[in-house]
Amino acid sequence: MRFLLVGDIIGKPGRKALKSAIDELKGKFDALIVNVENAAGGFGINKKVFEELVELGVDVMTSGNHIWDKKEVLEFIDTSSKLLRPANYPEGAPGSGLGIFEKNGISFAVINLMGRTFLDSNLDNPFKLFDKLYDEIKNLVKIIIVDFHAETTSEKWAFGMYVDGRASAVFGTHTHVPTADEIILKSGTGFVSDVGMSGCLYSVIGMRPKEVIDRFIYGFSQRFEVEDSGPIVFNGILLEVCPQSGKAKSISRVRKIFQEVQACATESS
């Protein structure tokens, strides 16, 4: 079974890049998994954008620390099986971090987890939580895909090595910059530290450079805005998994630049 795994999509430019890439890659994947925590105006997701992504053909939406930025998400995350939040939020938090899905007659599980280093040390331990979730589903599905949303490459690599042979693939998200370390680990888990973001190419991880630069120079915080002009870039991973064994057969990076000047008008969603 072939998957297209997509990291953080940043606002409207990211959604446009995703749509353009889907059109070009049609026929090369069976299921589409996208991290959507920055999909609406760069911070969080709302119902309108959720429905837009469903219409595009997104099968599963994962997220991370920005999942709660749009309070509107609380109105639909419990009833939207396609939308996951990190499973290691405390018990009782809205939504779910695990879903079992079916495409073309093949079942697969997606687990959404968040790292704790430099993020939120109050979260449940993602390593131990994976053990628990794996025990719950290992007899139900062969294919298990993990979005590991984390800050450091060391935590991501440690997690990938820890679950090697149990997860079919671990794809890292959050840092927005694609890494050149895609690999099939010794026991058959496909791994990449970070898929990278999709959004405006000439930006600071999808945001307008000025506000980010000012923060580094002057030390005061101000609201970041999504960069909305110039070429847009798509970053993703094409992954093939054996349905019988659940082991990764191939993994490769996809990077596409679409030359769209003034591609996206400023927007709040």
| φ, ψ dihedrals at 34, nearest 5° | -130, 135
Residue 265 domain-assigned (yes or no): no
Q: Give one DSSP letter per residue of 187-213, joined into a string.
A: TS-EEES----BEESSSBTTB-HHHHH
Residue 23 domain-assigned (yes or no): yes
Per-residue model confidence (pLDDT) at position 122: 85
Residue 268 domain-assigned (yes or no): no
pTM above 0.85, yes or no: yes
How far does CA 30 lie from the centroid of its chain?
17
**Counted domains in the chain:** 1
State the catalytic residue, choosing from 66, 149, 174, 176.
66
What's the rounded Cα separation, in Å, for the pair 237 and 241?
13
Whether 66 is a known active-site residue: answer yes
- 117 DSSP assignment: T
Per-residue model confidence (pLDDT) at position 222: 80
Per-residue model confidence (pLDDT) at position 261: 45
Residue 183 domain-assigned (yes or no): yes
Residue 185 domain-assigned (yes or no): yes
Residue 263 domain-assigned (yes or no): no
Residue 107 domain-assigned (yes or no): yes
Task: For residue 54, give the CATH number of its domain.
Answer: 3.60.21.10
Residue 266 domain-assigned (yes or no): no
What's the rounded Cα separation, in Å, for the pair 264 and 140?
43
C-alpha closest to that of 133 among 156, 160, 100: 100
Q: Give mean pLDDT in consecutive 10-residue pieces for the chain, a chain of 269 residues.
A: 98 97 96 98 97 98 97 96 96 96 97 94 94 98 98 98 98 97 98 98 95 92 90 98 98 93 50
Per-residue model confidence (pLDDT) at position 269: 58
Domain with 204, as residue range(s), is 2-258
